[in-house]
């Protein structure tokens, strides 16, 4: 699709919502987004089955992964990791919501990739920032957004139980910022 990011290539290694939703927005704006998935696929592909739905499609996954191409690569296999690096070498942007320590173990951390590709835009989404004791803590919408931000408390009338928090709201807010 033509748009302001036409001609920009994005390599996305993201799972569930925040990273993929950000990649979906970049694709909406015309970027060529290539999603790298493990052999078992992004866990969001099975979200509807986790909820007990038997559907021929997956609207939740399709929403956040619209407009992308995808490739299956096992980052634990050296040849596949080299293939990812070759994709990144051809890219303008690297986007991920994988924990920083996992990216570092794979040689996909900020310092390593920028040494290899100095003009690369490196976008990482974390639940708790890049510094501090929780910097490498896995983060999911319910804990990182609803609980830690205090939004659940702000939405709860005095003396009431917190409202049901729909997953993905915080992730989609993060993805759009």
Mark whether 92 is an active-site residue: no
| Residue among 130, 95, 139 at smallest CA distance from 113 | 95
| Residue among 156, 102, 100 at smallest CA distance from 124 | 100
Cα–Cα distance measured from residue 101 to residue 111, given in angstroms and rounded to the nearest whole number: 12
How would you list the strands of the sheet with 69-72, edge to edge?
A: 69-72, 32-37, 9-13, 93-96, 121-124
Classify 93 as helix, strand or coil.
Answer: strand
Query: Where in the sequence numbering do the catalytic residues fall?
Result: 171
């Amino acid at each position: 699709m033509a748009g302001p990011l036409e001609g920009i290539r994005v390599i996305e290694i993201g799972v569930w919502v925040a990273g993929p939703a950000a990649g979906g927005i970049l694709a909406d704006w015309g970027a060529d987004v290539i999603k790298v998935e493990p052999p078992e696929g992004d866990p969001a592909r099975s979200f509807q089955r986790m909820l007990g739905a038997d559907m021929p499609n997956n609207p939740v996954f399709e929403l956040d992964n619209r407009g992308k191409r995808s490739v299956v690569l096992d980052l634990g296999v050296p040849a596949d990791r080299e293939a990812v690096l070759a994709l990144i070498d051809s890219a303008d942007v690297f986007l991920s919501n994988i924990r920083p320590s996992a990216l570092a173990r794979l040689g996909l951390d900020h310092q390593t990739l920028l040494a290899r590709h100095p003009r690369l835009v490196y976008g990482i989404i974390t639940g708790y920032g890049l510094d501090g004791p929780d910097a490498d803590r896995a983060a999911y919408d319910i804990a990182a957004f609803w609980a830690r931000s205090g939004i659940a408390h702000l939405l709860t009338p005095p003396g009431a139980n917190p409202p049901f928090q729909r997953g993905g709201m915080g992730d989609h807010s993060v993805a759009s910022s």
